[in-house]
Amino acid sequence: MTNKSDFDFLIGNWRVINKRLKERLVENNDWEEFEASLKVWKILDGFANVDEYKTEINGKPFYASTTRVFNPTKNEWSIFWLDTSSYELLPQVKGTFNENGYGEFYGEELFNGKMTMLRFEWKSINNNSAHWNQAYFDEANNEWEINWTMQFIRKEN
């Protein structure tokens, strides 16, 4: 039952444990791990929220921001990503949460010069932790390849 409070669990400050595939859609299983910090707040009377993500990747600062917008007419969320590797607002994924708190969002992303099907999943959500992953659809193997995971651990304020 999707509604404007679906992402309220994420409001606040977080330590984020990241795992990312070093290469995507090439049957690679070599992961890099790094930590980040995340701060999330509501805007637009709770119909949207914004975050600021900070980390270092390969010794260089990396910053990103996500904007999540709930459309009550369509009863769905749109999620937008912006980071310092592209400085462009990336295409959105859209989706919903079910009654068990599992969120699934789909869209497309330009990868290696080709539009690739993209999925975000939110699960294992509680007041102090949550799990997110991103996957590309691997057409060669006809399956989703998870290429980035984040484990969120709430920080003490």
Q: Is residue 16 part of a domain?
A: yes
pLDDT, one tens digit per residue, over 48-89 is 999 999 999 889 999 999 999 999 999 999 999 999 999 989
Give tens-digit pLDDT for 80-101: 999 999 998 988 999 999 989 9
Task: Determine the structural domain holding residue 12 and report its residue range.
Answer: 8-22+33-154
Question: pLDDT tens digit string along 7-36?
Answer: 999 999 999 999 999 999 998 899 999 999
56 in any annotated domain: yes
CATH number, domain with residue 125: 2.40.128.20
| Cα separation values, 127 from 7, 36, 81, 130, Å | 11, 19, 24, 8
Mean pLDDT of 128-154: 96
Decide if 123 is inside a domain.
Answer: yes
Give every CB contact of residue 101 below 8 A, 6+ residues apart in sequence.
Answer: 122, 123, 125
Instruction: Tell me which amino acid residue 87 is.
Output: Y
pTM over 0.85: yes
Q: How long a stretch of residues is the chain?
A: 157
